[in-house]
Structures are given as structure tokens and as C-alpha cells.
């Protein structure tokens, strides 16, 4: 069905959207498929108070939330209505998001989906593809998550593009990510700041436990962390595959003020001007002997060679 209106769900405390068939049989389309998506001033869903969300088996596609409204208080244009191109929570939330397909969603900032302030999220078997953010200094085109706990399993993130964290951005959050695939995601350089961060994932003040994930052909051209950018965070890697990722600093992983542990991970054919596989700045890395070569270590960082 074509989606023509946004919903300010201020009084809703629970919402279930589900489809009995696969995601291809239940489609919410922002452009009626055959036409150019309508440029909007508001996302599809906004939740101001605590909410329980259960969304399963739905395709969301062809949304463009990138236009401002006028803020009378500040006497200037405001893009807050397009923080999160599809959905944005502003309070605590319990979220189950499974077997969905999110494609070609253009937001002004903060992802196709945005979750903040005490959210517990379960993401399973979803696909996020070809999503983008309009703002040159944007945080994630796929999912923006702040102050939350996240469990991710079996998701696919493909060709999502933003300034920081092409597919995912985490702030003040704990993340457990198993068996996900990140391919062809991109962090684009901001001309004002002349940098970009995390082709697939960017983390700030967060922790990530990542096992059996694939990071392939993600890029941060002119920036740091082709696959993952970490600042003031803790990363625990086990049996992940990093291949063909590129950046100026840290072709696969960039860590600043972070602690990184690798165990039985594969790093192949990643490329960077500095640190083809990993670049460390004021950081600590622990790794098994001979498993991770081509690491740049600045004078304020250390590496510990010892199997976990």
C-alpha cells in the first residue's frame, strides 16, 4: 500500500505490525513503486512516550523524508521531523524487529530507524539496502541507536551510505552481533570536516561483542575505519571475516581510545594509507600470535599478543 501520511503516535503504548507471508507480500511503499518517492517533512512513525513495538515480515521501501518545516520558536527551518526516515522513538522502547526489508529510505539524519533513551532491541533476519542520509554530517543511513541494548542476528546490510556509520551507529550502547553480513556500505566524506567514519559501523562510548559476522567491501574513503570505527569503546571480535574493506586509516578497523580483542578473526585484502587491517590511536589491542598483520600503532597505543 502507498504510505501518504505520517503518524504522531503520542498516546500509543504498544504497536504490532506483522505479515503471515514473507516480507515481499506485505509492502508499505512511500512512492507507490512506479513513481518518484514523495519528499516529506515527517517520518512515518514517531513515538514520544514509552512503547512496545513488534514489527515482523514487512517491506518498507521508497521513502524520502528530507524536507524541513519552519520552527516558529527558533525562527528557522527545522529537520527534526525527518530524524529517522521511517521511525523514531524519543523514550524507552521494547522493540522486536524481525524478517523485515528496509530499502531505498532517504532520511535527513539518524537512520531509516532511530532509537534513543533506554531501548531494548532485537533485530533478526532483516535486510537494510540502499538507504541514504541527506545531511552531509549524518549519523547512519540504516539504524541509529543511542543509550540502548541491542541483540542482532542474521541481518544483511547492503549499500547504505552516511557520513558516520554507513549502516549502523551506536552511542552509549551495548551490542551483541552474531552472524550478520555487512557489504558495500559507505561512509562519505563531509566537505566541511574533511573526514568520515565507519563504512559499516561506528561506535561511541559503547561495547560490541561480534561473532561470526562478515564485513566485505565496506569503505570510508578519505576517513577512518573501512568496516568499523570505534571511539572510547570496547570491541570483542571472534571468528569474524574482514575482507576488501578500505579507508585512509584502518582499512578494516579503526580504534581511538578503545580496547579491542580479536580471536580467530580473518583479515584479508583490506587496504588503507595507514594500517591496512587496523589503526590504533591511544588504544589497546589483544590478539593471537600471527593472526593479525599490518596494524598501525601510534606511540600512545599498545598491542598484546596472547590468545584469548
Looking at the fold, whether 94 and 213 belong to one and the same domain comes out as no
Looking at the fold, whether 145 and 232 belong to one and the same domain comes out as no
**Is residue 73 over pLDDT 60?**
no
Provide the pLDDT confidence category of residue 12 given band limits of 50, 70 and 90.
confident
Quick one: pLDDT at residue 82?
79
Helix spans in the chain (H): none
Looking at the fold, whether 75 and 179 belong to one and the same domain comes out as no
What is the phi-psi region of residue 108: left when phi exceeds 0, alpha when psi lies from -120 to 50, beta otherwise?
Answer: alpha
Looking at the fold, whether 184 and 127 belong to one and the same domain comes out as no
Domain containing 175 equals 163-308
Looking at the fold, whether 132 and 215 belong to one and the same domain comes out as no
Looking at the fold, whether 78 and 15 belong to one and the same domain comes out as yes
Looking at the fold, whether 115 and 219 belong to one and the same domain comes out as no
Quote the distance between the C-alpha of residue 61 and its chain's center.
17
Interstrand relation of 127-129 and 156-158 (parallel, antiparallel or unpaired)? parallel
Q: Tell me if the pTM is above 0.75.
A: yes
Q: Nearest 5°: phi and psi at 107?
A: -115, 160
**Please, what's the b/e burial string for 220-248 (b: 16 or more CB within 10 A of its CB; e: otherwise)?**
bebbbbbbbbbbebbbbbbebebbbbbbb
Listed residues 134, 156, 178: the one ending a domain:
156
Quick one: pLDDT at residue 31?
77
Looking at the fold, whether 229 and 132 belong to one and the same domain comes out as no
For residue 245 the three cell numbers come to 574493506
Q: What's the CA angle centered on 35, arms 33 and 38, to 5 degrees?
A: 100
Listed residues 136, 156, 176: the one ending a domain:
156
Count the neighbouring beta carbons within 10 Å of the beta carbon of residue 208: 25
Looking at the fold, whether 178 and 307 belong to one and the same domain comes out as yes
Considering only 55-59, 72-76, 95-99, 213-217, which range has the smallest mean pLDDT?
Answer: 72-76
For residue 159 the three cell numbers come to 549499500
CA 28 → CA 4, 86, 106, 152, distances in Å? 10, 11, 15, 23
Distance CA 82, CA 259 (A): 34
Listed residues 96, 128, 156: the one ending a domain:
156
Distance CA 243, CA 229 (A): 16
Looking at the fold, whether 148 and 93 belong to one and the same domain comes out as yes
For residue 215 the three cell numbers come to 564485513
Highest mean pLDDT (candidates 69-73, 152-156, 285-289): 152-156
Looking at the fold, whether 101 and 12 belong to one and the same domain comes out as yes
Distance CA 197, CA 189 (A): 8
* Domains: count for the chain: 2
Looking at the fold, whether 149 and 172 belong to one and the same domain comes out as no
Amino acid at each position: 500500500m502507498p504510505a501518504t501520511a505520517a503518524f504522531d503516535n503520542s498516546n500509543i503504548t504498544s504497536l504490532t505490525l506483522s505479515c503471515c507471508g514473507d516480507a515481499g507480500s506485505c509492502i508499505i511503499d512511500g512512492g507507490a513503486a512506479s513513481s518518484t518517492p514523495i519528499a516529506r517533512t515527517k517520518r512515518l512513525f514517531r513515538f514520544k512516550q514509552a512503547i512496545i513495538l513488534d514489527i515482523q515480515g514487512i517491506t518498507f521501501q521508497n521513502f524520502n523524508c528530507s524536507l524541513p518545516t519552519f520552527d516558529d520558536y527558533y525562527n528557522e527551518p527545522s529537520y527534526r521531523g525527518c530524524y529517522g526516515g521511517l521511525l523514531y522513538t524519543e523514550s524507552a522502547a521494547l522493540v522486536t524487529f524481525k524478517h523485515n526489508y528496509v530499502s531505498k529510505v532517504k532520511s535527513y539524519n539518524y537512520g531509516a530507524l532511530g532509537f534513543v533513551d533506554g531501548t531494548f532491541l532485537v533485530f533478526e533476519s532483516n535486510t537494510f539496502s540502499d538507504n541514504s542520509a541527506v545531511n552531509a554530517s549524518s549519523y547512519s543511513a540504516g539504524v541509529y541507536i543511542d543509550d540502548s541494548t541491542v541483540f542482532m542476528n542474521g541481518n544483511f546490510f547492503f549499500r547504505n551510505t552516511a557520513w558516520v556509520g554507513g549502516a549502523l551507529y551506536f552511542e552509549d550502547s551495548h551490542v551483541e552481533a552474531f552472524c550478520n553480513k555487512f557489504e558495500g556500505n559507505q561512509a562519505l566524506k563531509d566537505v566541511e570536516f574533511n573526514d568520515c567514519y565507519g563504512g559499516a559501523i561506528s561506535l561511541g562510548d559503547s561495547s560490541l561483542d561480534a561473532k561470526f559476522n562478515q564485513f566485505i567491501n565496506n569503505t570510508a574513503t578519505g576517513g577512518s575505519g573501512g568496516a568499523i570505527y570505534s571511539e572510547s569503546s570496547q570491541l570483542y571480535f571472534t571468528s569474524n571475516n574482514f575482507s576488501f574493506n578500505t579507508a585512509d586509516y584502518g582499512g578494516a578497523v579503526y580504534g581511538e581510545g578503545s580496547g579491542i580483542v580479536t580471536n580467530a578473526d580473518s583479515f584479508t585484502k583490506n587496504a588503507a594509507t595507514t594500517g591496512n587491517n587496523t589503526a590504533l590511536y591511544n588504544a589497546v589491542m589483544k590478539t593471537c600470535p600471527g593472526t593479525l598483520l599490518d596494524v598501525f600503532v601510534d606511540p600512545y597505543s599498545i598491542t598484546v599478543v596472547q590468545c584469548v
